[in-house]
A and B are shown apart, each in its own frame.
Chain A
Amino acid sequence: MSIAWYLVLSGFIFCIGAAGVIARRNPLVILLCLELMLNAGNLALVAFSRMVGNREGQVFALIVMVVAACEVVVGLGLIVAMYRRRVPIDVDEVRELRG
């Protein structure tokens, strides 16, 4: 398979994730869509690593996975804190910081 196939697939997944981030209102699903976008980036990194025959892109993908795990932990902690304070689980209702 040509590397371009993997890159086009990565672009597809990234765009689906971006559409989800924009269109969905549940912060849990928005976090899931962020995961989709990060995974698309991971796929592109690993595909480029295969293309140039260099392992360092795979290390980069592993670090991205660590950062994604941290983001998930903090995001889920925020969602649980929202639930504890009875804030509706809906990003349109969280408008305290809106100007």
Chain B
Amino acid sequence: MLLEQILFFVAAAGAIGGALGVVLLRNPFFSVLALVAHLVALALLFLLLRAEFVAAAQLVVYAGAVMVLYVFVVAYIGGVEETVGGEGLIGRTGPVFAGALLAELTIAVVGSGLGALNTRGAHVPAGFGSPGAIGKLLLEKFLIPFEAASFLLLVAAVAAVVLASRRRGLEELGGDELPERAGRAPLPTVDGGDGARPNVEDARPIPAGTAEGPGDPTVSRGGGW
């Protein structure tokens, strides 16, 4: 019992610290690393709740694969530092809104008077969240949602390929901006949009806070997204 409480508080401190790190750290790369720490602490909480398979999937899929995807994208677009807490109305509203939401949730949970919340949970057999039990449930009772989830993953993979592909998808709308094709003649523009500018090199780095949007300042802002 004592060991369970110690583990719970250590994992809870790790989870909250990781979550605060995601929000408060300025560099997106460090935010991703904080989220990895958060996910590992959350997997420990899942283990305490007897959800062994969910904990393993959390570690392997989330902290492993998805976070590596994040790290790749952060390394690709470069870590753009930004101010936290922000200026203006929005930056001040965020913490106030979060505090109000937390107070409401805590009142709802603690003050609800639900006697069931104060229990330590029902008595569960050994192997409650084991891969065998969860897999049996997934392949028998929840077979249709399982297959729908696999189809959803397939659709998302196709969407990512279309969105991020080099010569199709959104690139057709924006013209040719690829570095290896910079030497060629620029594509003719119909509406004088922001795409297909011949001066590709000097427009490459964009400061994060510029209001002009990418590239040519004479182009109206509506030419971007």
Q: How far is the CA of A87 from the CA of B39 in the complex (A)?
A: 31
Q: Answer yes or no: B120 CB below 8 A from chain A CBs.
A: yes
In the complex, chain B residues whose CB is within 8 Å of the CB of A11: 102, 105-106, 109
Q: Answer yes or no: B10 CB below 8 A from chain A CBs.
A: no
| Residues of A participating in the B interface, judged by any CB pair closer than 8 Å | 1-9, 11-20, 22-26, 28-29, 31-33, 35-36, 39, 42-43, 46-47, 49-53, 55-56, 58-59, 61-63, 65-74, 76-90, 93-97
The range of chain B's interface size is: 35 or more
**Is there contact, CB below 8 Å, between A72 and B82?**
no
Q: How far is the CA of A83 from the CA of B74 in the complex (A)?
A: 11
Q: Give the top 4 A-B pairs by smallest Cβ distance, nearest first.
A: A53-B122, A86-B214, A23-B94, A19-B98
| Residues of B participating in the A interface, judged by any CB pair closer than 8 Å | 4-5, 8, 12, 15-16, 19-20, 22-23, 28, 31-32, 35, 38-39, 42, 45-46, 48-51, 53-54, 57-58, 61-62, 65-66, 69-70, 73-74, 76-77, 80, 82, 84-86, 90-91, 93-95, 97-99, 101-102, 105-106, 109-110, 116-124, 128-129, 133-134, 137-138, 141-142, 145, 149, 152-153, 155-157, 159-164, 166, 169-171, 174, 177-178, 194-195, 203-204, 206-211, 213-215, 221-222, 224-225
In the complex, chain A residues whose CB is within 8 Å of the CB of B4: 1
**Is there contact, CB below 8 Å, between B57 and A4?**
no
Give the shortest distance, in Å, between A18 (CB) and chain B (any CB).
Answer: 5
**Is there contact, CB below 8 Å, between A62 and B122?**
no
In the complex, chain B residues whose CB is within 8 Å of the CB of A77: 159-164
**Is there contact, CB below 8 Å, between B12 and A9?**
yes
